[in-house]
């Protein structure tokens, strides 16, 4: 029991290092995406950053290096990346405004639920598997919208591929939001007993 607790308290792990690098790469993505001349590179960079999300999770499980810090910074890195991608997409008019509003509304709702559980009930909600799956689909879809903004010969294909990944990803993320909300309700009800 003590060994398990000690391993959960580790800070310096390979997965945490990869997550930290992912966070540090976000400003580079924003810099590349802010001007239209580097949108292809920006989209590739966004895809690379999104891929590291699965790499750190896989390594954490494979190397038995899951940690409390990792469980906090990993979903935070996902949210920061989605917000950064949304800001770039809005600035470059890459994604319809309604879609951006839905993405941001979902992120605000998740943050409110997770924040309420942490602040009011002093506990943490673990990330659900399908939440990670939805995030992965979003991370596949967003680069295609960025590629479409580069005005290549394949704009229509990139746009279609963006929707093919984004819409199911967003639907799955709303299912994850419902799961988090149910957990919040359950915690609230059990605290009243």
Please count the CA atoms within 13 angstroms of the CA of 142 that sit on its side-chain side: 34
Please list the rounded mean pLDDT of every run of 10 residues in the chain (193 residues): 58 93 94 90 92 87 89 88 91 92 92 91 85 89 92 91 96 95 92 80
Q: Answer yes or no: are the C-beta atoms of 84 and 30 closer than 8 Å.
A: yes
CA distance 163 to 167: 6
In angstroms, what CA-CA distances link 76 with 57, 70, 115, 127, 156? 13, 10, 12, 11, 32
The pLDDT, as a whole number, for residue 151 is: 83
Q: Answer yes or no: are the C-beta atoms of 20 and 74 closer than 8 Å.
A: no
The pLDDT, as a whole number, for residue 1 is: 45
3-state secondary structure of 56: helix
- Closest by Cα among 23, 95, 31 to 56: 23
Handedness of CA 155, 156, 158, 163 (dihedral sign): positive
DSSP state of 152: -
The pLDDT, as a whole number, for residue 4 is: 53
The pLDDT, as a whole number, for residue 175 is: 96
In order of their start, the domains of the chain are: 2-187 (1.20.120)
State how far Cα 94 lies from the chain centre.
19
CA distance 29 to 101: 21
The pLDDT, as a whole number, for residue 3 is: 47
This prediction's pTM: 0.84
The pLDDT, as a whole number, for residue 53 is: 83
């Amino acid at each position: 029991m003590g060994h398990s607790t000690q391993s959960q308290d580790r800070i310096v792990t390979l997965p945490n290092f990869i997550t930290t690098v992912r966070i540090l790469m976000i400003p580079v993505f924003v810099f590349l995406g802010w001007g239209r001349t580097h949108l292809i590179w920006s989209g590739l960079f966004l895809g690379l950053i999104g891929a590291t999300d699965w790499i750190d999770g896989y390594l954490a499980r494979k190397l038995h290096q899951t940690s409390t810090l990792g469980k906090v910074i990993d979903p935070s890195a996902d949210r920061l990346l989605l917000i950064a991608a949304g800001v770039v997409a809005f600035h470059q008019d890459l994604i319809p405004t309604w879609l951006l509003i839905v993405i941001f509304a979902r992120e605000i709702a998740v943050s409110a639920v997770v924040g309420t559980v942490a602040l009011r009930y002093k506990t943490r909600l673990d990330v659900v598997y399908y939440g990670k799956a939805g995030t992965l689909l979003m991370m596949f879809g967003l680069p295609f919208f960025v590629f479409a903004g580069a005005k290549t010969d394949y704009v229509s294909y990139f746009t279609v591929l963006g929707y093919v990944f984004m819409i199911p990803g967003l639907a799955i993320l709303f299912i994850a939001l419902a799961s988090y909300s149910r957990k919040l309700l359950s915690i609230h009800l059990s605290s009243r007993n």
